[in-house]
Amino acid sequence: MPKEKCKIIFLDLDGVLNTANYYDRLQHEHQPTEDIFGTLFDPKSVEQLSHIIDSTNAKIVISSSWRYSGIANMRAMWKARQLPGEIYDITSLHVADDYIQSQMENNPNDFDLYDVMILAREMEIALWLEEHPEVTSYVILDDQSTFRQLKEHFVQINPKSGITNKDTERVITILN
Protein backbone atom coordinates (compact mmCIF):
# COMPACT_ATOMS: atom_id res chain seq x y z
CA MET A 1 0.00 0.00 0.00
CA PRO A 2 1.51 3.39 -0.99
CA LYS A 3 2.45 5.79 1.75
CA GLU A 4 0.78 9.17 2.08
CA LYS A 5 2.44 12.03 0.15
CA CYS A 6 4.72 14.16 2.33
CA LYS A 7 7.39 16.84 2.50
CA ILE A 8 10.72 15.97 4.10
CA ILE A 9 13.40 17.88 5.99
CA PHE A 10 16.73 16.03 5.94
CA LEU A 11 18.14 17.28 9.21
CA ASP A 12 21.71 17.41 10.40
CA LEU A 13 21.92 18.21 14.11
CA ASP A 14 25.49 19.35 14.82
CA GLY A 15 25.81 22.95 13.68
CA VAL A 16 22.10 23.14 12.81
CA LEU A 17 20.27 22.59 16.10
CA ASN A 18 23.22 22.53 18.46
CA THR A 19 25.15 25.70 17.77
CA ALA A 20 28.52 27.03 18.81
CA ASN A 21 27.01 30.26 20.16
CA TYR A 22 24.52 28.44 22.40
CA TYR A 23 27.14 25.97 23.63
CA ASP A 24 29.51 28.84 24.47
CA ARG A 25 26.74 30.70 26.29
CA LEU A 26 25.87 27.66 28.39
CA GLN A 27 29.53 27.16 29.28
CA HIS A 28 29.96 30.85 30.16
CA GLU A 29 26.89 30.68 32.43
CA HIS A 30 28.13 27.41 34.00
CA GLN A 31 25.02 25.59 32.75
CA PRO A 32 24.90 21.97 31.54
CA THR A 33 25.76 21.62 27.85
CA GLU A 34 24.32 18.13 27.41
CA ASP A 35 21.79 15.63 28.68
CA ILE A 36 21.58 11.85 28.41
CA PHE A 37 21.12 12.14 24.63
CA GLY A 38 24.04 14.47 23.90
CA THR A 39 24.66 18.16 23.29
CA LEU A 40 21.70 20.42 24.01
CA PHE A 41 19.98 22.20 21.15
CA ASP A 42 19.80 25.96 20.73
CA PRO A 43 16.23 27.10 21.52
CA LYS A 44 16.42 29.70 18.73
CA SER A 45 17.15 27.02 16.11
CA VAL A 46 14.46 24.77 17.55
CA GLU A 47 11.99 27.65 17.31
CA GLN A 48 12.93 28.18 13.65
CA LEU A 49 12.49 24.45 12.96
CA SER A 50 9.08 24.61 14.62
CA HIS A 51 8.09 27.53 12.37
CA ILE A 52 9.23 25.59 9.29
CA ILE A 53 7.18 22.54 10.29
CA ASP A 54 4.12 24.64 11.14
CA SER A 55 4.36 26.38 7.74
CA THR A 56 4.98 23.27 5.63
CA ASN A 57 3.72 20.26 7.57
CA ALA A 58 7.04 18.58 6.70
CA LYS A 59 8.34 15.47 8.44
CA ILE A 60 11.94 14.97 9.59
CA VAL A 61 14.49 12.45 8.37
CA ILE A 62 17.65 12.51 10.47
CA SER A 63 20.74 12.59 8.23
CA SER A 64 23.09 13.51 11.07
CA SER A 65 25.69 11.17 12.54
CA TRP A 66 23.38 11.13 15.59
CA ARG A 67 21.33 8.55 13.64
CA TYR A 68 23.90 5.93 14.62
CA SER A 69 22.12 5.78 18.01
CA GLY A 70 19.07 4.45 16.14
CA ILE A 71 15.63 5.74 15.25
CA ALA A 72 14.11 4.66 18.58
CA ASN A 73 16.68 6.77 20.45
CA MET A 74 16.10 9.72 18.12
CA ARG A 75 12.35 9.52 18.72
CA ALA A 76 12.89 9.20 22.49
CA MET A 77 15.10 12.31 22.46
CA TRP A 78 12.51 14.19 20.37
CA LYS A 79 9.83 13.36 22.90
CA ALA A 80 11.95 13.99 26.02
CA ARG A 81 13.17 17.36 24.73
CA GLN A 82 9.70 18.25 23.42
CA LEU A 83 11.04 19.01 19.95
CA PRO A 84 8.78 20.01 17.05
CA GLY A 85 7.56 17.73 14.31
CA GLU A 86 7.80 14.03 13.71
CA ILE A 87 10.85 11.87 13.14
CA TYR A 88 9.73 10.04 10.01
CA ASP A 89 12.94 8.08 9.49
CA ILE A 90 16.73 8.13 9.47
CA THR A 91 18.95 7.78 6.42
CA SER A 92 20.74 4.48 5.84
CA LEU A 93 23.77 3.68 7.93
CA HIS A 94 25.12 1.13 5.46
CA VAL A 95 25.68 3.43 2.47
CA ALA A 96 28.20 5.48 4.43
CA ASP A 97 29.87 2.41 5.90
CA ASP A 98 30.31 0.75 2.50
CA TYR A 99 31.48 3.96 0.81
CA ILE A 100 33.95 4.78 3.59
CA GLN A 101 35.37 1.26 3.51
CA SER A 102 35.85 1.39 -0.27
CA GLN A 103 37.55 4.80 -0.07
CA MET A 104 39.90 3.58 2.67
CA GLU A 105 40.88 0.58 0.56
CA ASN A 106 41.16 2.39 -2.80
CA ASN A 107 42.75 5.67 -1.65
CA PRO A 108 44.78 4.93 1.49
CA ASN A 109 47.20 7.84 0.92
CA ASP A 110 44.51 10.45 0.16
CA PHE A 111 41.87 9.20 2.57
CA ASP A 112 40.18 11.88 4.68
CA LEU A 113 37.45 10.37 6.85
CA TYR A 114 35.64 13.68 7.36
CA ASP A 115 35.47 14.48 3.63
CA VAL A 116 34.37 10.96 2.76
CA MET A 117 31.63 11.00 5.42
CA ILE A 118 30.25 14.28 4.06
CA LEU A 119 30.17 12.93 0.50
CA ALA A 120 28.48 9.78 1.76
CA ARG A 121 25.67 11.88 3.29
CA GLU A 122 24.52 13.05 -0.15
CA MET A 123 24.57 9.46 -1.39
CA GLU A 124 22.48 8.37 1.60
CA ILE A 125 19.89 11.08 0.99
CA ALA A 126 19.68 10.26 -2.73
CA LEU A 127 19.17 6.57 -1.95
CA TRP A 128 16.54 7.37 0.69
CA LEU A 129 14.64 9.50 -1.84
CA GLU A 130 14.74 6.69 -4.43
CA GLU A 131 13.16 4.37 -1.88
CA HIS A 132 10.43 6.87 -0.88
CA PRO A 133 8.32 7.95 -3.87
CA GLU A 134 5.78 9.48 -1.46
CA VAL A 135 8.04 12.54 -1.07
CA THR A 136 6.64 15.54 -2.95
CA SER A 137 9.35 18.02 -1.91
CA TYR A 138 12.37 18.04 0.35
CA VAL A 139 15.09 20.22 1.80
CA ILE A 140 18.48 19.43 3.30
CA LEU A 141 19.58 21.42 6.36
CA ASP A 142 23.27 20.96 7.03
CA ASP A 143 26.25 23.06 8.06
CA GLN A 144 28.51 21.38 5.48
CA SER A 145 28.53 22.64 1.89
CA THR A 146 29.51 19.53 -0.04
CA PHE A 147 26.19 18.77 -1.70
CA ARG A 148 26.55 18.66 -5.48
CA GLN A 149 23.72 16.66 -7.05
CA LEU A 150 21.08 17.86 -4.58
CA LYS A 151 22.28 21.45 -4.14
CA GLU A 152 19.00 23.09 -5.26
CA HIS A 153 17.39 21.49 -2.19
CA PHE A 154 20.24 22.40 0.16
CA VAL A 155 20.26 25.21 2.73
CA GLN A 156 23.62 25.65 4.42
CA ILE A 157 23.32 26.59 8.07
CA ASN A 158 25.95 28.64 9.90
CA PRO A 159 27.17 26.37 12.74
CA LYS A 160 27.70 29.33 15.05
CA SER A 161 24.19 30.74 14.85
CA GLY A 162 22.06 27.80 13.66
CA ILE A 163 18.86 28.28 11.69
CA THR A 164 18.14 31.97 11.04
CA ASN A 165 14.99 33.79 9.88
CA LYS A 166 16.50 34.01 6.39
CA ASP A 167 17.21 30.25 6.36
CA THR A 168 13.67 29.57 7.51
CA GLU A 169 12.18 31.66 4.70
CA ARG A 170 14.30 29.85 2.12
CA VAL A 171 13.38 26.42 3.51
CA ILE A 172 9.66 27.23 3.45
CA THR A 173 9.99 28.43 -0.16
CA ILE A 174 11.74 25.22 -1.22
CA LEU A 175 9.20 22.98 0.52
CA ASN A 176 6.10 24.84 -0.59
CATH, residue 118: 3.40.50
CA–CA distances in Å: residue 173 to residues 51, 67, 139, 162: 13, 27, 10, 18
Q: Specify if 60 maps to a domain.
A: yes
Q: For residue 80, what pLDDT is reported?
A: 97
Q: Specify if 80 maps to a domain.
A: yes
Q: Could you tell me the residue range of the domain that residue 130 belongs to?
A: 6-175
Q: Specify if 98 maps to a domain.
A: yes
Q: Specify if 48 maps to a domain.
A: yes
pLDDT tens for the chain, residues 1 to 176 = 558 999 999 999 999 999 999 999 999 999 999 999 999 999 999 999 999 999 999 999 999 989 989 999 999 999 999 999 999 999 987 666 666 667 667 776 776 665 666 667 888 899 999 999 999 999 999 998 777 788 899 999 999 999 999 999 999 999 99
Q: Specify if 103 maps to a domain.
A: yes
Q: For residue 106, what pLDDT is reported?
A: 75
Residue 7: partners with Cβ closer than 8 Å, 6 or more residues away: 56, 57, 58, 59, 135, 136, 137, 138, 175
CA distance 103 to 100: 5
Q: Specify if 1 maps to a domain.
A: no
Q: For residue 61, what pLDDT is reported?
A: 98
Q: For residue 123, what pLDDT is reported?
A: 84
Q: Specify if 113 maps to a domain.
A: yes
Q: Specify if 130 maps to a domain.
A: yes
Domain count of the fold of the chain = 1
